[in-house]
Structure 1
Amino acid sequence: MLESNVKIASMRVYADILANAARNGWNYTPQSIVSGSNRHFEEMSLQLIEAGYEIVPVGARPYCNQLNKQAGG
């Protein structure tokens, strides 16, 4: 699973959380929003990893032993 896809999903969920909080009259500072967004992404990533997913940074080239043998590597 690409890290960028996890980040996008996390941002969407966190935006919903903030919208619900705002509807209930809660206000957050910009710093706490950024901090909360980062924390939400990290927690979501950990939950996905625990569920058996591998999170791959964008641009990473996963290692595949069989493909490397076929390519002569």
Structure 2
Amino acid sequence: MPIRHGVAGRYGTFPSSAERRQLGEDIVALMREGVIETSPGRKYSLDEIGEAVAQAEQKGRQGKVFLVPGK
């Protein structure tokens, strides 16, 4: 049996453009209602790039690591 990845591998077909759009709208609605919470992560200045890289490489990290010029 071939190894399958992503949505097509799990469900057998790719969702249509309309289905993807609807899914995105549903997710945004759930976020607005507080059902789904996001963790945006931490912002680092370019002077803190070493700390940013260390944070990005941590296992179990939640959220993104942002580099912000002029922070």
* TM bucket normalised to smaller: 0.3 to 0.5
**Which TM-score applies when normalising by structure 1?**
0.32
Give 1 or 2: higher helix fraction. 1
Q: Whose strand fraction is larger, Structure 1's or Structure 2's?
A: 2
TM-score, normalised by the number of residues in structure 2: 0.33
Structure possessing the higher relative contact order (Cα contacts under 8 Å, 6 or more residues apart): 1
